[in-house]
Structure formats: structure tokens, C-alpha cells
């Protein structure tokens, strides 16, 4: 999910944040404002939009199934290489198999690689996502024949149990409240990212010190 061209993204695949959302189900301004606020803070964010999806489809001469596989492989690389994931869980998020497949991979990275995941419950209650009832359950029911259903349900349950933010549609109408909400998210990620980078730099300094000690020992010998 990014605003730059596909080729430029592939040349710089490392991102700090991966945004997972259903474009038609959330106000475009909310996702765009969140994306731009992260970018302005120096937090590199991947946002897969419809324009890039069209580029993928146009560039592919293969059948739909293979095109989908290629796009998912493309998305998986960004998910694996991101430190943070923001999941905008909305009423119809689960109606999209694309979103659900992203979610499964994100939660896998959360468990195995300790990636940090932020769920945003957009106009839905965490309990609706956790237990899949109401509009969330109705949307999920459209996939009843899909063999992936159990993995999707497990991923939804895991995501709903994480600490996140709740935002309803009325809040998004009030621009001031929405921007305050976005700033809280950006500040939290910025702080955690600074700590991660600080620890990484500290490790590099330690490695450099050990290297110098070894070099000095070799000179003395």
C-alpha cells in the first residue's frame, strides 16, 4: 500500500510500517491522513493502493490466479520487512480475502519475529472482531466455503486481543478528533521506533568495541 511507483518501491523495500486496510470501507481521508502523518514524521510507510494494484494486473499476462499469487508474494515481502503493522479493522475488512490473507501473515510475523501490531477498530467493537458476530460475522460468512476460514478466524481473534485504538465514523467526521487520534498513533510508533534504533545502534557500538579489542590483542601478540 504505497503512493510511489511500483519500481521505486521494489528498489527500496524496507519499510517501518505496513498499513492493512480495506480501501472501500474506510474514508479515504482517514487512511491518507494517517499515511502522510507517518511519512512526515520520517516513518517509512507502505500503503498498497488501487493504482499500484492496477499496475500489477496490467503488467501481468498470466491468469488471474497467478496474478493474485504474484501480488501476495509482493505484499508478503513488505510485511516481513516492516517493523510495525497497522490493521484498520472495519465492518467489511473481513469480506476481503486479500485483507484476511495479509492479516494471517501479519499475525504470523507478530508471533515468530516479534513484529509490533496495532489494531484500529474502525466503527466496530473489539468483541465483534474477536468473536466474529454482527456485521463482522456477516462479512466473514461470505467465505464459508473457503478452506482458509479457520486461519482467518484465528488471526482475527489474535488481533482483537491486542491493545489498539477504537474510532467510530462520527469521530472521523470531526477532523480535529481524527487528527488527534492519528497523532497518538504516530507518536507511539515514533517512540518505539526510536528505542528500536537506539538498541540497534548500541549493539553496533558494542560490536565495534569488541572488534577493536581483538585488533589490539593481535597487535600485542
Q: CA 44, 46, 51: angle at the middle one, nearest 5?
A: 135
What is the band of 1 on the pLDDT scale with cuts at 50, 70, 90? very low
Q: Could you tell me what percent of the chain has a pLDDT over 70?
A: 71
State pTM to two decimals.
Answer: 0.80
- Quick one: cell of 201? 545502534
pLDDT value at residue 218: 44
Higher pLDDT, 106 or 57: 106
Q: Report pLDDT digits (tens) over 13-68.
A: 579 999 999 877 666 688 899 999 999 999 999 998 755 665 555 455 454 777 77
The architecture that CATH gives domain 6-220 is 3-Layer(aba) Sandwich (3.40)
HEC string of 50-114 equals HHHHHHHHHHCCCCHHHHHHHHHHHHHHHHHHCCEEEEEECCCHHHCHHHHHHHHHHHHHHHHCC
Residues with a known catalytic role = 102
Amino acid at each position: 500500500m504505497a503512493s510511489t511507483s511500483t519500481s521505486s518501491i521494489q528498489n527500496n523495500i524496507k519499510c517501518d510500517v505496513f498499513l492493512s486496510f480495506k480501501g472501500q470501507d474506510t474514508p479515504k481521508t482517514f487512511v491518507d491522513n494517517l499515511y502522510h502523518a507517518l511519512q512526515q514524521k520520517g516513518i517509512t510507510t507502505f500503503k498498497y493502493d488501487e493504482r499500484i494494484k492496477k499496475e500489477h494486473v496490467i503488467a501481468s499476462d498470466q491468469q488471474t490466479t497467478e496474478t493474485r499469487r504474484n501480488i501476495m508474494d509482493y505484499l508478503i515481502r513488505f510485511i516481513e520487512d516492516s517493523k510495525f503493522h497497522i490493521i484498520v479493522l472495519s465492518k467489511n475488512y473481513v469480506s476481503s480475502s486479500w485483507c484476511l490473507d495479509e492479516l494471517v501473515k501479519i499475525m504470523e510475523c507478530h508471533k515468530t519475529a516479534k513484529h509490533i501490531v496495532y489494531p484500529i477498530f474502525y466503527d466496530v467493537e473489539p468483541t465483534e472482531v474477536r468473536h466474529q458476530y454482527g456485521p463482522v460475522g456477516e462479512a466473514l460468512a461470505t467465505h464459508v466455503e473457503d478452506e482458509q476460514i479457520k486461519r482467518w478466524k484465528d488471526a482475527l481473534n489474535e488481533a482483537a486481543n491486542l491493545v489498539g485504538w477504537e474510532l467510530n465514523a462520527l469521530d472521523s467526521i470531526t477532523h480535529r478528533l481524527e487528527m488527534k487520534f492519528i497523532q497518538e498513533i504516530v507518536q507511539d510508533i515514533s517512540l518505539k521506533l526510536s528505542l528500536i534504533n537506539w538498541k540497534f545502534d548500541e549493539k553496533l557500538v558494542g560490536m565495534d568495541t569488541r572488534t577493536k579489542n581483538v585488533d589490539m590483542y593481535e597487535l600485542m601478540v
